[in-house]
Amino acid sequence: MSSSLRVLGIDPGLTRCGVGVVDVDGSRRGTLVHVSVIRSSPDAEIGDRLAIVAAGIRAVIAEHRPDAVAVERVFAQQNTHTVMGTAQASGVALLIAAESGLPAATHTPSEVKAAVTGYGSADKRQVQAMIARILRLDAPPQPADAADALAIALCHAWRRGGAVATKGALTPAQRAWADAERVARTYLRATP
């Protein structure tokens, strides 16, 4: 097995779909491989917009050959139009991962924020700043969709990356998150 894990993180969206690829080594150090935003016009037909997102994701997979794909899980919002577009882009990303033979997972926004900042309600600026720090970048990735894609990739590598993410190598924030998940599971089992 390789000593590093390459993860493609996807922040799904129709107008802006963030894609970021990171390598995470056995000591949990992340290295930026690629980051970009796939854009489509809000005036285009939905099928055309999804085709643009699909082509962009396929190109990143072909060029960077990730070991896994992580997609931000769609969450309920007041704006059903935005949720539908995000869900459709998410479905395209998961389909392409499956067609490419890559394992794929989804992570909630709060799970991603907690993994990279230690705080599940961190704002976009905090996530961008931490991504710049973790990946040793000169400036935070812009726009926020790009930083979010990298955060999703790091979250996946750290939390689900198999040999790369060993229990003893968890950051304090990740240990706190894992402990909270354990308590929640215990509570749910105990609740009739």
Kindly list the catalytic residues. 11, 72, 145
Phi, psi values for residue 108, rounded to 5°? -70, 155
What is the spatial distance between Cα 41 and Cα 62, in angstroms, rounded to a whole number? 24
Q: Which amino acid is at 161?
A: G
Closest residue by Cα to residue 173 from 128, 124, 130, 123: 130
Tell me which DSSP letter residue 167 carries. Answer: G
Q: Which amino acid is at 96?
A: I
Residue count of the chain, please give it: 192
